[in-house]
Amino acid sequence: MSGLIYSLCALGLVMIGLYGLARAHHGLQQLLAINVMSAGVFMLLLTMAARHPPADAVPQALVLTGIVVAISALALGLALLRRLAAEEAESHD
Amino acid sequence: MLDAILTLLILALAWHCVRTTDLFEAIVVFIALGMLVALAWTRLQAPDAALAEAAIGAGLAGALLLASLRQMPEMSATRAPGAKTTGLGWFWWGLWGALGLALVSGVAAIQTTSVSLMPQVQAHLSDSGVTHPVTAVLLNFRALDTALELAVLLWAWMAQKQLFVPGRQTVYPLQGQVLKTAVKALLPLMVLVAVYLLWRGSSAPGGAFQSGAVLASAWLMLWLAQLPGLSRKQGGMRLGIQAGWLGGVTVFLLVGLLGVFQGAGFMGYPPDQAGAWILLIESAAALSIGLLLASMVLVSMPDFQEGTL
Amino acid sequence: MTEWGLALLVVWPLLWGALTMVVPARQVTVAGGLAALVTAGLGVWAVTLSPQFLVLGNWSTPLGLGWRLDGMAQSLIGVTAVVGGLVSVYAWLDKGLPPTFWGLWLGAWGAMNALFLTADVFHFYVTLELLSVASVAMVALTPGAGATRAAFRYLLVSLTGSMLFLLGVALLYGRYGVLDMTLLAAQMTPDWPSMLAFALMTVGLLAKTAVFPLHGWLPQAHAKALTAVSAILSALVIKAAFYGLMRLWLEVFGPLATVSASWVLGLLASAAIFWGGYQALKTARLKRLVAWSTVAQVGMLVLALALVVQAKAISSVPSVHLWQGLVWLIAVHALAKAAWFLAAGTVQKRADSDYLAQIGFALHRSPISVVAMALAVISLAGLPFTMGFLGKWWLLSLAWELQAWAWLLVSLLGSLLTMAYGWRLLNLSLVNRGLPQALKPVSVARDWVALCLALLGVMGGFGGHWFWEGV
Amino acid sequence: MSWVMVGLDWLGAGVIALGVGFFVAGTLGLLRFDQSINRLHALTKADTLGLGLVVFGLVLQAPGLAVGLKLIIVWTLGLVSAALVSHLIGQSLCSQRQEEP
Amino acid sequence: MSSSFWPLAVLMSSALPGLVIFFIPETRRTLRSLLNIGAALVKLQLVVLLLLGLYAGETYHWQWSLMPGLTLALKVDALAGLFLILSAVLWLLTTLYAIGYLEHSPHRSRFFGFFSLCVSATAGVAMSANLFTFVIFYELLTLATWPLVVHRGTPQSLAAGRVYLRYTLISGSVLLLGAVILHGLVGTPDFVPGGYLADQGVATVWLWVVFVLLLIGLGVKAALLPLHGWLPKAMVAPAPVSALLHAVAVVKAGAFGIVRLVFEVYGIEFASEIGVTDLLLVLAAATIVYGSWRALFETDLKRRLAFSTVSQVSYVALGVALAGPFGAIGGLIHIVHQGVMKITLFLSAGNYAETLGIHKVSEMSGVGQRMPWTTAAFTLGALGMIGFPPLAGFVSKWYLGLGAWEAGANWVLAVLLVSGLLNAAYFLPLLYRAWFGPPPPAWPQPKTLSRVFETHGLLLFPPLITAMLVVLLGLFAGLNIATLGWVQWLIHREFGL
């Protein structure tokens, strides 16, 4: 039973992430939305793992890999945003 | 019952994080969301993932976001209050709803199927060199996945190093002895925790990523307290830091290549020494993940000077 | 021996890419150049191997990762090696290139080799992610706000694409409990979760291949990037994502890829061809024209994929070398687009301006680049004596066999559009009224690299028969 | 012997309930106080005490000595970090206040 | 079927020098001219050798498999020999003429490079042994000729180039489509004298669709009625370009394609059986009349010649469409005769433009006194076109008439008559004005190009030689080395009619 709730939570996160991405006005919001979506996808993977005890180790490994990929993508996105802000500040003054 | 409350809380936080137009608020809510998601994952019997999510997904990502926000002052101002929020047309809402329904029905259909690779994992666990299944999958069965994922982290850092632009905002330095003494006291404990996490990775939830995250926060604490630690100026540190960055990927790939000569196939280890090789790789990976994540956060600090890394 | 060679194919570029961070700036170009050439050699060597299935670390596939070296993967590795090698030579000659280019480029190359080899769906996601991070970083190499904004938009689109792809992978794992492509293909049943996974993964990859509705990011990213980078992006990086589409549609989701599904692909492809062609005709800038032509040519590739899927779905049609044709078209576009971008970049550097109105004189003074561009346009348009012509002949005869009149017409109009915007450029070179202006000194060797790539596009046509029968 | 254990459990539960009460007070303080300095005050005091009580309650119910000791360490760390963080935030707030009088 | 490399040698004899010429610097005039003329001579020599071998019963066939089921095949057969000898001879003469004509203009290396590529493409068209190879060389011809049309780089030539491209590239795609469909229906076997579609059991509707598609593809280059628009506009190109390309190479490739299509793809009996030749007949006849009619009203000399080319080329199509031995002979002969006559006219027109700056027909009066030799060549060419008895034109028109009468299509006889009258109507006043008209007080742009002759030596002799050919081909048609004898042997051997 608890598996179903968490998969609904996961899908909820994914859908909210997609909504946020469509609605975002600022680069940072877009990055946050994508990270919310990835948290949702990882949670979905984990609910797949937790369907039958013992919890399946392969999706958990995938999630670990996914988290590191998500953080590096976030870091790269933020670096680009910082540079964009600096360049626009330069072009103004 | 608890799961239901947790799910509602997570979704509420996520909705608020996405809806709010104030960036600072969005980031704070995002960090809280990360914590709750980590909690939910412990409920899903995935302690490794929960540890990683808490340390990396919420902690370091939060630090990164807050530091970067600091450097985008003029852009952080929320959209002018009067601006019409781009209401998504009914068509997009329809599409969004349909996708949601499709996903729910798809996942519901899958909920009952009982397929899992766990039996194979447990069958081969004995000659994988470690006893903890997640570490076995990560570092032995699907070793190339992890190697390339470390490469993703390294290449992201390479890009950020290239994109670095010195911060221009005024910064209020944290003087006073309190932080220095606290850091001096906490640091050995954090290193101990990191090593412990690394060591127990072979038998219980833990491993390279989690210990790497703890190491990263240790380095950050050092830098915040202006204690000499992570800076190129100190003697051999320059090469040490660069070796640290590349350490994880290069060790992993070279050991993998070695596997071909030892007859265990690419990215394979001879069964008897597997445990030793995995430990070597894990320590190198932990070190380099820690250094990379720390460097990424430091580079986004407003008062970070060019030459330190 | 072969396993060692294949392992090196992936490890060598990644290792050297990582090492470029340590090597002092002066030697980076030399180290990077050498590493690139060795990788190219390895890639060409890999083409000569016999097709095989390799299991990593001796763990059999459902648990471990599998490397599959079949005709499709081999040819793409070979194309990446050849085009990558020549673009590296061009980059080696281009002094204006920042040293970090080499680290990023080798990383992208290693990722592509791993991507073509892998037979595991999640591993495909990880390699695709490494490739996207490296490509975004390469786009951001150009100084100036425009490139950074283009890079950020590229990052966003590719991250969303990857997330959708990963969602599909999660559903697949939930449904079949297996991540290996061959095993998935064996167990695939057309039920609802599989269809959903199929749709999600396809949309994810379409975003990364910049097919029509999701192509917005490509023109800015490829136009703003440095010359060598835009050649790499247009000729190679797009193909990796398209390769993913090929694997999904032709192998993993075989039973689901029905004729009606191929119609969806076909419609998207036609829209891409016409929209890309229209924009290419309209734009006033050189590199943007070439970038829009990439959007159109990707449309042609997707159209070919739709036809092949339709052929496989009917399966009564004799397999007229189905996937060879697709790979052939990929090779045609890779060679021609790389040559076109390099030549355009050289001319733009000489004229020091990107506007078509101002490059008349520079075009006039760089005959070798003009010939390279001409050959590239001829090959893309499918005119004779080029690989493109054979590709177009294969595409038309496939469309004719399937009685797919719509796609037959679209592919014909597509190549006419290519001629139209291609000749827009060549006209400029023959007009000798370009006002004489001071041209920036650019080494002629770079023109020759572009010409060499274009000539490969022509010579390839002759050496083709061993490819069609042999592989 | 068993009723001693039951007694301990009940005592633990009661202490934990008390701790939760302090947590609620702390959060209430966070929401009600106007200036961030006061909010800082409410958070550190009430929450640390709450955490102490919860930990004490858990120690009572703890199966073995090792787990109890670990819980104590958790509490001390919580204490140290709460104090450190509140000091730092207070410091930066004051330096900001000196900037704009 | 010995796979000899002779056909390849003929192809390379003009392609390789072409590629080399591209890289010769502008100033090295003598080296370039030597290379050019040398290549032309070698090619002529090779072709003559091949024809003699062919007459002795040799077969020359070369092939290279490109894709499964698709081979690049070159074969020198009697039909190919006819077109080869025409292009070889005229390429030599036009190269001489071009060297003289482009004395001081820029980009000559580029010009001669593409010039040789274009001739090798024509040779490829002549020698292609199956439809696939034919399409390749046919399209290559477009690519090689476009830079020549646009050689001057002026806005008008660019506009003409754009029109030229629009016509030829679109028709190229249509031709490719037809070839692909045919490949889908029956595959791409080599051309067979009796045609290989007869007993393949293909639905006639598809046969018609393929024929129409291929006809559109070929019709543009053969300047059939609705698709001839580009030819007059392309007259903006320099004289040697309009002479060789639009009188010989490009236009003849289209006509030659139609001959291959009807004779060696469909087969003459099968084609007339399913009625495609009737369509061709109507189209050819309409073009003949329309071309001559439009030529009547053209004031610009080269445009008038262009429209006369439009009508003359359709004689070939007419001959093929008559589906009889005599019609076939007439049509095939006309390929060579029309080429020789038309090149004489174009070269002389080029002389007038170069030496006296004459472009308009009205400026032609009295040119006979100023440039007697060129006008003599012009007259011979014009009389030949009208079909004056001893000249080459008469022979082909005679056989066409015989073919028409034998096929019982009397209205075709009327068409031949009307077009002959129209030819006379737009050529004779021209000649009269040239010889008997009063010379104007001053020529538009008089230049003295050479002290001893009326114009530059290289400009004068080529038209004279071709005019002499017009006469010789007329008088000694019967010899087996001359066109009529060769074609009769060809028709007898190949089609057993």
Percent of chain C with pLDDT over 70: 97
Report CB contact under 8 Å: C170, A38.
no
What token pair was written down for C442?
């650019």
Lowest mean pLDDT among C87-101, C429-443, E430-444: C429-443
Residue C277 lies in a domain: yes
* Chains A and D touch each other (3 or more Cβ pairs < 8 A): no
Residues 31-90 of C with CB under 8 A from A: 63
Report CB contact under 8 Å: D91, B186.
no
Report CB contact under 8 Å: B178, D92.
no
- The per-residue pLDDT for range A58-92, each reduced to its tens digit, is 999 999 999 999 999 999 999 999 888 888 877 77
Report CB contact under 8 Å: B7, A63.
no
Residues 7-46 of A with CB under 8 A from B: 7-20, 22-29, 32-33, 35-36, 39, 42-44, 46
* Chains D and B touch each other (3 or more Cβ pairs < 8 A): yes
A5 Cα to chain C: minimum distance (Å): 16
The predicted structure's pLDDT at residue C169: 94
The top-scoring range by mean pLDDT among B216-220, C201-205, E111-115, E159-163 is: C201-205
Report CB contact under 8 Å: A11, B75.
no
Residues 264-293 of B with CB under 8 A from C: 264-269
E157-179: average pLDDT: 89
Lowest mean pLDDT among B92-96, E392-396, E421-425, E448-452: E448-452
Rounded alpha-carbon distances, angstroms, from residue E22 to D36, E111, E305: 81, 8, 31
What is the span of the domain harbouring residue C429? 258-471
Alpha-carbon gap, residue B26 to A32, rounded angstroms: 8
Secondary structure of residue B132 in the 3-state scheme? coil
pLDDT confidence bin for C341, thresholds 50/70/90: very high
Report CB contact under 8 Å: B172, D88.
no
What token pair was written down for C104?
């990023």
Lowest mean pLDDT among B262-271, C31-40, E308-317: B262-271
- The per-residue pLDDT for range E320-376, each reduced to its tens digit, is 888 778 888 888 888 888 888 888 888 888 888 888 888 888 888 888 888 888 888
Residue C448 lies in a domain: yes
Report CB contact under 8 Å: B74, A63.
no
E199: burial class by Cβ within 10 Å (0-12, 13-18, 19+)? exposed
Report CB contact under 8 Å: C175, B142.
no
Interface test with B, best of D27, D74, D81, D91 (most B CBs within 10 A): D91
Which residues of chain D have a CB within 8 Å of the CB of B172?
92, 95-96
Task: Identify the residue whose tokens are 């018609």.
Answer: E208
What token pair was written down for C254?
């075989």
The predicted structure's pLDDT at residue B77: 41
Domains of chain A (ranges plus CATH)? 2-92 (1.10.287.3510)
Helix then strand count (H, E) for chain B reads: 13, 0
Provide φ and ψ at E322, rounded to 5°: -70, -15
Peptide bond into A54 cis (omega under 30): yes
- The per-residue pLDDT for range C129-187, each reduced to its tens digit, is 999 999 999 999 988 778 898 999 999 999 999 999 999 999 999 888 889 999 998 98
Report CB contact under 8 Å: B178, D96.
no
Report CB contact under 8 Å: A5, B150.
no
Is the sign of the CA dihedral C348, C350, C353, C357 positive or negative? negative
Residue C471 lies in a domain: yes
Which residues of chain C have a CB within 8 Å of the CB of B95?
none
The predicted structure's pLDDT at residue B34: 94
Q: Of the candidates A30, A41, A87, which has its C-beta nearest C163's C-beta?
A: A41
B198 Cα to chain A: minimum distance (Å): 15
Exposed e or buried b per residue across B119-129, where buried means at least 16 C-beta atoms within 10 angstroms of its C-beta: ebbeebbeebb
What's this model's pTM, rounded to 2 decimal places? Answer: 0.90
Provide φ and ψ at B12, rounded to 5°: -60, -45
Residue C137 lies in a domain: no
The predicted structure's pLDDT at residue E441: 80
Residues 42-81 of A with CB under 8 A from B: 42-44, 46-58, 60-65, 67-76, 78-81
Could you count the other beta carbons within 10 Å of the beta carbon of residue C352? 14
Nearest-by-CA chain C residue for A72: C133
Residues 161-180 of B with CB under 8 A from D: 172, 174-176, 178-179
What token pair was written down for B244?
């640290």
User: What is the CA angle E291-E297-E299, rounded to 5?
Assistant: 115
Largest CA distance in chain C: 68
Nearest-by-CA chain C residue for B160: C137
Residue C193 lies in a domain: no
The predicted structure's pLDDT at residue C110: 94
Put simply, whether C412 touches A (Cβ < 8 Å) is no
Residue C109 lies in a domain: no
Domain tally, chain C: 1
Size of interface A-B (CB pairs under 8 A): 256
Counting as contact any 3 or more CB pairs under 8 A, the partners of B are A, C, D
- Write down the mean pLDDT value for chain E: 84
Interface test with A, best of B2, B5, B9, B10 (most A CBs within 10 A): B10
Interface test with A, best of B3, B11, B18, B96 (most A CBs within 10 A): B18
Q: Of the candidates B152, B154, B266, which has its C-beta nearest C3's C-beta?
A: B266
Which residues of chain A have a CB within 8 Å of the CB of C163?
14, 17, 34, 37-38, 41
Put simply, whether B189 touches C (Cβ < 8 Å) is no
> Which residues, in sequence order, are CB contacts of B298 under 8 Å at separation 6+?
B219, B220, B223, B230, B304, B308, B309
Report CB contact under 8 Å: B175, D96.
no
Q: Of the candidates A41, A69, A84, which has its C-beta nearest C167's C-beta?
A: A41
- The per-residue pLDDT for range C214-268, each reduced to its tens digit, is 888 899 898 888 999 999 999 999 999 999 999 999 888 888 888 888 999 999 9
Q: Of the candidates B52, B79, B114, which has its C-beta nearest A51's C-beta?
A: B114
pLDDT per residue, tens digit, chain B (309 aa), is 888 999 999 999 999 999 888 888 999 999 999 999 999 999 888 898 999 999 988 889 999 998 888 877 655 444 444 344 455 578 888 888 999 999 999 988 888 787 888 888 888 888 888 888 888 888 888 889 999 999 999 999 999 988 887 766 666 666 667 888 888 888 888 899 999 988 888 888 888 888 999 999 888 888 877 776 656 566 667 778 888 889 899 999 999 888 888 888 888 888 888 888 889 999 999 999 999 999 898 888 877 776 666
Q: Of the candidates B7, B52, B134, which has its C-beta nearest A9's C-beta?
A: B7
Nearest-by-CA chain E residue for C467: E67
The predicted structure's pLDDT at residue C104: 94
* Cα C131 → chain centroid: 12
- Is residue A21 within 8 Å of A38, Cβ to Cβ? no
Residues 76-105 of B with CB under 8 A from C: 102-103, 105
Nearest-by-CA chain A residue for B8: A9
Lowest mean pLDDT among B1-15, B32-46, C328-342, D24-38: D24-38
The predicted structure's pLDDT at residue C171: 92
Could you count the other beta carbons within 10 Å of the beta carbon of residue C404? 22
Which residues of chain B have a CB within 8 Å of the CB of A36?
14, 17-18, 30, 33
Residue C287 lies in a domain: yes
- Reference E353, options E263, E272, E256, E238; nearest CA is E238
The predicted structure's pLDDT at residue B203: 82
The alpha carbon torsion through C429, C430, C432, C437 (nearest 10 deg) reads 10
- Reference C6, options C72, C38, C54; nearest CA is C54
Residue C175 lies in a domain: no
Q: Of the candidates C122, C133, C152, which has its C-beta nearest A72's C-beta?
A: C133
> Which residues, in sequence order, are CB contacts of B29 under 8 Å at separation 6+?
B13, B16, B17, B20
- Reference C170, options C196, C152, C143, C147; nearest CA is C196
- Is residue C422 within 8 Å of C377, Cβ to Cβ? yes
- Write down the mean pLDDT value for chain C: 89
Alpha-carbon gap, residue D77 to B214, rounded angstroms: 15
Nearest-by-CA chain E residue for C389: E136
Domain ranges within chain B, ordered by starting residue? 131-309
- Is residue E267 within 8 Å of E195, Cβ to Cβ? yes
Please report the DSSP string for C248-287 in residue order. Answer: IIIIITTTT--HHHHHHHHHHHHHHHHHHHHHHHH--BHH
The alpha carbon torsion through D59, D62, D66, D70 (nearest 10 deg) reads -50
Which residues of chain B have a CB within 8 Å of the CB of D88?
174, 178-179
Report CB contact under 8 Å: C174, B107.
yes
DSSP designation for E24: S
What token pair was written down for E415?
């068409």
- Reference C120, options C75, C78, C57; nearest CA is C57
The alpha carbon torsion through E91, E92, E98, E100 (nearest 10 deg) reads -170
What token pair was written down for E427?
């050529």
Is the sign of the CA dihedral A58, A60, A64, A67 positive or negative? positive
Task: Identify the residue whose tokens are 């030892």.
Answer: B262
B301: burial class by Cβ within 10 Å (0-12, 13-18, 19+)? buried
What token pair was written down for B36?
């709750």
Rounded alpha-carbon distances, angstroms, from residue E147 to C375, C391, E107, E117, E305: 14, 25, 11, 11, 22
Alpha-carbon gap, residue C232 to C84, rounded angstroms: 7
